[in-house]
Amino acid sequence: MPVVLLRIDDRYIHGQITAKWMQRVDGQAIWVVSDALGKNPVLKSLQESLAPPGSKVKISSVNEALKECASVNKGNERVVLLVAGPEDALTVMKNGIRVDHVNVGQMGFKHGKKQVSKTVSVDTNDVNAFKEIIKMGVRLEYQQLPDFPQKPIDFEATLKEMKLI
């Protein structure tokens, strides 16, 4: 079950994922790792209903996901892994998920966060997690859609330009 896309998107399953990203990476399954969704049957059911027809959907809390991370890269099923923020991305990568880049798509603005791009706002915890991901040799790419912007933007460079790292 190789992870073909690890995307940070606090909206989880939505139109951009179902109509664009799944097609771009030839995804067969969506795995959402989220404590908020994993522990809430109503939100979990809503997310499952948004998946493209024929796609397998798995929604796990972070602790549940950690038990499966080591074995996830085995098998043939092409998985799109969605997390809300860089801390969860870092956690799954430290526990066996192998990727060469993380797609940073959507981290909405909240009090205490600084906007660094049109759809991404970060706080100190986010920045610290991004630093650790970079130290692991994993690229950070900002791209809302597979064709917008046309080429992924180097998100590490964006954080440096903002003097956050």
Give me the count of residues in the chain.
165
- Its sign, for the CA torsion 4, 137, 143, 122, is positive
14 catalytic residue (yes or no): yes
Report the distance separating Cα 104 and Cα 94, nearest Å: 18
At 85, list the tokens: 């923020």
Give the three-state DSSP class for 66.
Answer: helix
At 12, list the tokens: 């989880």
* 152 alpha-carbon distance from chain centroid: 15
Rounded to whole angstroms, what are the CA distances from 62 to 23, 93, 106, 111?
26, 12, 19, 24
The active-site residue, picked from 6, 14, 98, 128, is 14
Annotated catalytic sites, by residue?
A: 14
